[in-house]
Structure 1
């Protein structure tokens, strides 16, 4: 697969950067800010790696896992009362999970790992 050709990885990059910067315009606490900055930065880095090396199958799984972490973070880190930050985490989680799962399917089908259903 060619570099820089997965649109889903660009979506994950945008979501990661948005989450990383969201504390600038969203009411937050230090715990919520740290959570969103770390998860956003890791997601952005994973998406850049996947854009540069689209053949690294394990990265898509990590991107989907980041989506799960985003989604559960308001409950785990106790910031569900911060509606703006919580909704940002939930939206980022759903989008990142869907993008990571879709990218995993695309990469597997290109590598021949997925058997066509009859």
Structure 2
């Protein structure tokens, strides 16, 4: 598996960046600003690490966990108001990151196994 070519990781980077950038446009509620910036930034970092080293299975799990945390952050951070743009952005970006991380786990496991000499 080549570095910097996995679409799943590019989508995770974009989801994290979208969560971070949306804080400029949606009114903050509760802890939305801090949670969206932190989790979005961590998603970008984990996506870049996965792009640079595509055989790290543990990083795919970290990325899935970050996506899940971003998805549940409206309930944790107290900005679950259904009319809130921050909540919708967290749900959408978190779900996208979680789905692409789950899709990337199997290819990452295969790349890891291929890298080990038998």
With normalisation by structure 1, the TM-score equals 0.89
**Cross-structure match for 1:105:** 106
CA distance in 2, matches of 1:31, 1:19: 14
Quote the offset at 1:107 in angstroms: 1.2
Question: Residues 1-118 of structure 1 correspond to what in structure 2 (within 5 A)?
Answer: 1-29=1-29, 31-81=31-81, 83-112=84-113
1:69-101 Cα distance to aligned partner (Å, 9 max, x none): 011100011101262000100111110100111
CA distance in 1, matches of 2:60, 2:112: 14
Structure 2 gaps of 5+ residues are: none
Quote the offset at 1:112 in angstroms: 4.5
Task: State whether residues 19 and 36 of structure 2, in contact with CA within 8 Å, keep that contact through their aligned partners in structure 1.
Answer: yes
> Cα RMSD (Å) of the superposition?
1.5
With normalisation by structure 2, the TM-score equals 0.89
CA distance in 2, matches of 1:78, 1:30: 5
Say which SS state the counterpart of residue 4 (structure 1) adopts: coil
Quote the offset at 1:36 in angstroms: 0.1
Quote the offset at 1:30 in angstroms: 6.1
Q: How many residues align?
A: 113
Q: 1:56 to 1:112 in 2, by over 3 A?
A: closer
Structure 1 gaps of 5+ residues are: 114-118
